[in-house]
Amino acid sequence: MRISFFIVISILLLASCKKERHDLSLNKIPYTGNELRIDGYYYSNRVFTDYAGIAVFYRDGTCINVFSRIESLDTTKFIENEILLNGSLMSSFMNTPSHIGVFTINKESIEFETWEAGRDIITFSNYGKILNDTTFSITKQVNNDNSKSDILNLIYKFKQYSSKPDSTNNFIK
């Protein structure tokens, strides 16, 4: 009986622990430019052979940015079937918040900032250069919680895709 009581109290305490959500430093600004195509998604070269970055940009200025283990030789097919069409996964991104944020483009520069859920919900900023309307590079990522900076060399390529997940969420106004 004591063990059951302890388990119930522990569950209630854990459930009541609220994660601190850090604010985004970028403001949401509708994207009206043509520097990058946004009628699909972008995927990066594979990192450590198994992982790739996936970025989805929306006209309203929001974005999704996630790294995922790619468990197939066909990167784009895996991204579409296992990530973008996975309703529960996309819903968890929009309801946590996790892997969603905002982006800004200024001529040849791109910056996007997204939340990442962990002990707290912190933000990461990614900085890069637009190479053409279907390719950009990310050269730096900053953990905005501790200011740790990583130098990256990721090249993102565009894939047209008409079934992009909805960008609607309760966190970005």
- The token duo for 156 is 């993102």
What gap in Å lies between CA 76 and CA 83, rounded to an integer? 10
Is a pLDDT exceeding 70 seen at residue 168? Answer: yes
Q: Which has the higher per-residue pLDDT, 50 or 154?
A: 154
pLDDT number for residue 2 = 40
Residue 169 lies in a domain: no
Residue 123 lies in a domain: yes
Residue 99 lies in a domain: yes
Overall number of domains in the chain: 1
At 50, which CATH number? Answer: 2.40.128
Q: Is 128 exposed, middle or buried (0-12, 13-18, 19+ CB in 10 A)?
A: buried
Domain that holds residue 88: 26-160
Residue 116 lies in a domain: yes
In the chain, what is the greatest distance between 2 CA atoms, to the nearest angstrom? 66
Is a pLDDT exceeding 80 seen at residue 17? Answer: no
pLDDT number for residue 28 = 95
Model confidence at 9, in pLDDT bands (50, 70, 90)? very low
- Burial string for 34-71 (b: 16+ CB within 10 Å, else e) reads ebbbbebbbbbeeeeeeebbbbbbbeebbbbbbebebe
The residues facing 123 across adjacent strands are 115
Taking residues 108-122, report their average pLDDT: 91
Looking at 44-53, 95-104, 108-117, which range is the least confident one? 44-53
